[in-house]
Amino acid sequence: MNDFLEQCRQAVGAPHVITEPADMAGYLTDWRRRFTGRAQAVIRPSTTEEVAAIVRLCNEFRVPVVPQGGNTGLVLGSVPDESGQAIVLSLNRMNRIRAVDTINNTMTVEAGAILQQVQVAAADAGRLFPLSLAAEGSCTIGGNLATNAGGTAVLRYGNTRELCLGLEVVTAQGEIWNGLRGLRKDNTGYDLRDLYIGAEGTLGVITAAVMKLFPQPKVRLTAFAAMQSADDALQLLSLAQGKCGATLTGFELMSDFCLALVAKHFPQLKSPFPDRYPQYVLLELSDSESEEHANAMLEAVITAALEQEVIQDAVVASSIAQSKGLWNLREHIPLAQAEEGKNIKHDISVPISRIGDYIRMTDQRLQESFPGCRMVTFGHLGDGNLHYNVSAPENAADEDFIKRQPEVNKVVHDSVHEFTGSISAEHGLGALKRDEICRYKSDIEMGLMRALKQALDPKNIMNPGKVI
Amino acid sequence: MNDFLEQCRQAVGAPHVITEPADMAGYLTDWRRRFTGRAQAVIRPSTTEEVAAIVRLCNEFRVPVVPQGGNTGLVLGSVPDESGQAIVLSLNRMNRIRAVDTINNTMTVEAGAILQQVQVAAADAGRLFPLSLAAEGSCTIGGNLATNAGGTAVLRYGNTRELCLGLEVVTAQGEIWNGLRGLRKDNTGYDLRDLYIGAEGTLGVITAAVMKLFPQPKVRLTAFAAMQSADDALQLLSLAQGKCGATLTGFELMSDFCLALVAKHFPQLKSPFPDRYPQYVLLELSDSESEEHANAMLEAVITAALEQEVIQDAVVASSIAQSKGLWNLREHIPLAQAEEGKNIKHDISVPISRIGDYIRMTDQRLQESFPGCRMVTFGHLGDGNLHYNVSAPENAADEDFIKRQPEVNKVVHDSVHEFTGSISAEHGLGALKRDEICRYKSDIEMGLMRALKQALDPKNIMNPGKVI
């Protein structure tokens, strides 16, 4: 008889302590299906008190806890290691919207709520919850907070951290910290909230949060522009921000090679331009006034950019269908890339002003070491965040190229470091980049991080082997 | 011979280790002149390395360090206690603007730079640095960061925390953490930045920061509206945010009694309305388009609010002078209040939706305990932050009333707590509210804060007696 699991069953009810391998399987393999870990059990509490009871037992029995939301992470942060010692603490039964306050512009949600469910609840109340990313139909708000998720609206609304006002957390000792404050201003001590956000479950378990809401924009308008270089795209960004202020909510860069891949694998998705150009940008405005107003604003940006020869061509979507078509070009890049074969992905950021130089320099370094490799470069230019992906040369075997991933990573990440950038802009460190980060962070920073981990989780039971 | 001070002299140069009482005096008394502490010396390093050298010596000799910027704080956070053991570490020689990047929209500034100097440097580069507060001519960016300062532009741009991308910090051990990243996205470990921000110098010394810049708005437009209640003001806020989005940058509430005090003590400052109303709001738009556009937007808000009877009267400033006049009404409230006599100040926040109820309930409780006391209530309604100040009854002696400050504080702060608010929205805890906060924060939260303090400053040399 396993005393630990028996007490867990008493705490949450036997049906919610899963130990059958077939039933556990979905919780043990990561989203990209690259790794499968092992666990003693998957435990699914339904209240904060139950989470606390389970963590207290883990603390007592020194059982590692792997908190898990939608398990859509990309850096092996939400699956256990191969030891079989850990439990997976699934938050997916804690999925209530506890409160919506349309005057305070906040909602209180439990960690296991699916992002899309949160977006819909906000919309039902006539408000916008702006966090939006590819996995929104599966990922949870708790996972978004634990990884400080980014997405497509960061330019205007910030990362998940900026969208959160307060947290409820179960500490590594199984105590409940109620920090569910819906305040815009509160200077009463250390910023515990932002310490738990982005800690990937290694300091405690986020069980609920107060998130910010915004007025819904009246109209969204999309445009697509063609230009000679990433530097010109940066000039367009400055110009658009100057004329549109916070109305500019999206600014996505993609290279000609990206669009060529989309056209090759999805022939129905065509570039809106008769000619080809080295780079393209998708712009999105979210306007609180009217379609006419948004249109006039966007036209003014494009006219000025054409006059100044910052761009060579542009279209403004004249219908929702056309706007969807332009977004489709951007959203099909990862799919087209997958059709083309395996590649080596990077989620990097650099200061926005250095993006042009970064791409030039790193492309060149890669060509020197891996002649003929093909660059699939696109991303959230407005945030300095690129998906800087590298495909095998045209006639090379994917498998041979993928074997050289550590070398490719090193060239790309060394270059990021030289440009004072980040080797994980959106995705976190998880188990995947935990060692890699030690190459780039100073001993002092690693030492500070270790001191915090030691202070809040001295027994190292919270998601061990991740982040630090 | 004091070995410690001698080594400090070697580290920063003898002229920058001040021990003469007359020369130290300005560093030892707080901004409101309520408290004077003592110190062994005031030390003024000019580089990060010098700061690190001094803190290493303090660590070795166990000398308390009180970091100080402009010394404009309101909660006794930047002056030493009466023991005379500490040094004041003045950052005011570290005042360089290290870099401005108009494409990345960032500037790198040293902690001792005066806020106004930072605003001007941004404007000279054609950009906006939006942090703005009453002490901006004296306070430093390091102090703003250490206290997570608020001010008048929080509604649109956030507190100082939201304006910062990266920090350089000297740790309590005298090591230099270079976290001067200018990245919009970086998910590579624990959020050290936000832990040092708002810690009031109790975890380390902020020596430099990368701050965000914004496009300069083309036009600022101000309006003034009159209404029956704070609840109506909230409705106006929702209406204005819905129609103006991020263009709405200011939303300040003030009661009729506030305006009456201004009129009494500054007769040249007149309400723009022929009649009197219970409450008034000053609205500010910052528009990236044109004066016509801003005007039309503001007129649309006001027309709708009048039609819906949310407000009873309104004026839109038609000139910069008129706009200045409206702001003058708001800005003279603290001055008029001081002319009227001493009062008991509170810097509180509650969820925006509960402000009306908070004011009603707390006013009533105060009247029960202190009959006839007069409420000077005004503040940043858009942030849920009120300066909720209490003056003596008309015919009572100020001194007698001020003696009852602890009782008044207790009524106000107990009420804040009941409304899940904050007893220090903008100003921090310092030494002034350090004990008070223990009444309201849970033991678990206090325990987490103590664990962090212990982890990063185990010898308790960083600004001891403040915050925790």
Partner B contacted by A328 (CB < 8 A): no
Chain B residues inside the 8 Å CB shell of A178:
442
CB pair distance less than 8 Å for A183 and B353: no
Neighbours of B427 (CB within 10 A): 23
Helix/strand number for chain A, H first, E second: 16, 19
Partner A contacted by B123 (CB < 8 A): no
Does pTM surpass 0.90? yes
Nearest CA in chain B to A296: B289
Domain B219-334 and domain B341-427 have a common topology = yes
Q: How many CB pairs under 8 A join A and B?
A: 275
Q: Which of A464, A380, A465 is nearest to A426 (CA)?
A: A380
CB pair distance less than 8 Å for B467 and A426: no
Smallest Cβ–Cβ distance between A189 and the set B154, B238, B449 belongs to: B449
DSSP code for A437: G
Chain A residues 276-305 within an 8 A CB cutoff of chain B: 286-289, 297
CB pair distance less than 8 Å for A104 and B351: yes
Residue ranges of chain B with per-residue pLDDT less than 50: none
Question: Is the predicted ipTM greater than 0.90, yes or no?
Answer: yes
Q: Would you state the pLDDT for residue B293?
A: 92
Give CA separation, A360 vs A229, A333, A365, A375, A387, in Å: 10, 21, 9, 11, 15
Please tell us whether the domain made up of B97-215 is placed in CATH 3.30.465.10.
Answer: yes
Kindly report the CATH class assigned to B341-427: alpha beta
User: Could you please report the per-residue DSSP string of B144-194?
Assistant: HHHHT---TTHHHH--GGGGEEEEEEEETTS-EEEE----S---SS--HHH
* CA distance linking residue A112 with residue A143, whole number of Å: 8
Smallest Cβ–Cβ distance between A353 and the set B103, B234, B246 belongs to: B103
Angle between helices B230-244 and B355-369 (to 10 degrees): 160
To the nearest whole angstrom, how far is the Cα of A19 from the nearest Cα of chain B? 32
Chain A residues 348-377 within an 8 A CB cutoff of chain B: 349-354
Q: Which two tokens stand for residue B240?
A: 């204005």
Partner B contacted by A199 (CB < 8 A): yes
Q: Which of A13, A48, A178, A91 is nearest to A463 (CA)?
A: A91
Instruction: Domain ranges for chain A, please list them.
Output: 2-90, 97-215, 219-334, 341-427
**Whether A75 contacts A427, CB under 8 Å:** yes
What's the start-to-end Cα distance of chain B, in Å? 34
Q: Would you state the pLDDT for residue B320?
A: 86
**Whether B316 contacts B223, CB under 8 Å:** yes
What's the start-to-end Cα distance of chain A, in Å? 34
Fold assignment, A2-90: 3.30.43
Find all residues with CB under 8 Å of B25, minimum gap 6, and list them: none
CB pair distance less than 8 Å for A159 and B198: no
CB pair distance less than 8 Å for A195 and B190: yes
**Whether B123 contacts B136, CB under 8 Å:** no
Q: Would you state the pLDDT for residue A1?
A: 52
Chain A residues inside the 8 Å CB shell of B203:
190
| pLDDT, tens digit only, all 468 positions of chain A | 579 999 999 999 999 999 999 999 999 999 989 999 999 999 999 999 999 999 999 999 999 999 999 999 999 999 999 999 999 999 999 999 999 999 999 999 999 999 999 999 999 999 999 999 989 999 999 999 999 999 889 999 999 999 999 999 999 999 999 999 999 999 999 999 999 999 999 999 999 999 999 999 999 999 999 999 999 999 999 999 999 989 999 999 999 999 999 999 999 998 999 999 999 999 999 998 899 999 999 999 999 999 999 999 999 998 888 999 999 999 999 899 989 988 899 999 999 999 999 999 999 999 999 999 999 999 999 999 999 999 999 888 889 999 999 999 999 999 999 999 999 999 999 999 999 999 999 999 999 999 999 999 999 999 999 999
Chain B residues 161-190 within an 8 A CB cutoff of chain A: 161-162, 171, 175-179, 181-190
CB pair distance less than 8 Å for B422 and A349: no
Partner B contacted by A198 (CB < 8 A): yes
Partner B contacted by A423 (CB < 8 A): yes
Smallest Cβ–Cβ distance between B426 and the set A185, A247, A433 belongs to: A185
- Chain CA centroid to CA A253, Å: 17
| A321 three-class SS | helix
Chain B residues 209-238 within an 8 A CB cutoff of chain A: 215, 217, 234, 237-238
Tell me the pairing of strands B87-90 and B41-43.
parallel
CB pair distance less than 8 Å for B426 and A243: no
Please tell us whether the domain made up of B219-334 is placed in CATH 3.30.70.2190.
Answer: yes
Q: Would you state the pLDDT for residue B318?
A: 86
pLDDT tens-digit series, residues B76-134: 999 999 999 999 999 999 999 999 999 999 999 999 999 999 999 999 999 999 999 98
pLDDT tens-digit series, residues B34-58: 999 999 999 999 999 999 999 999 9
Q: Which two tokens stand for residue A404?
A: 């050289």
* CA distance linking residue B234 with residue A14, whole number of Å: 49
Chain B residues inside the 8 Å CB shell of A195:
190-191, 194-195, 452
Smallest Cβ–Cβ distance between B198 and the set A150, A191, A427 belongs to: A191
Chain A residues inside the 8 Å CB shell of B424:
186-188
**Whether B241 contacts B157, CB under 8 Å:** no
Find all residues with CB under 8 Å of A67, minimum gap 6, and list them: A78, A89, A91, A142, A146, A201, A205, A206, A462, A463
Q: Which of A406, A463, A464, A460 is nearest to A436 (CA)?
A: A406
To the nearest whole angstrom, how far is the Cα of A76 from the nearest Cα of chain B? 14
CB pair distance less than 8 Å for B185 and A422: yes
| A178 three-class SS | strand
Write out the H or E segment, with its range, that includes residue B411: helix B405-418
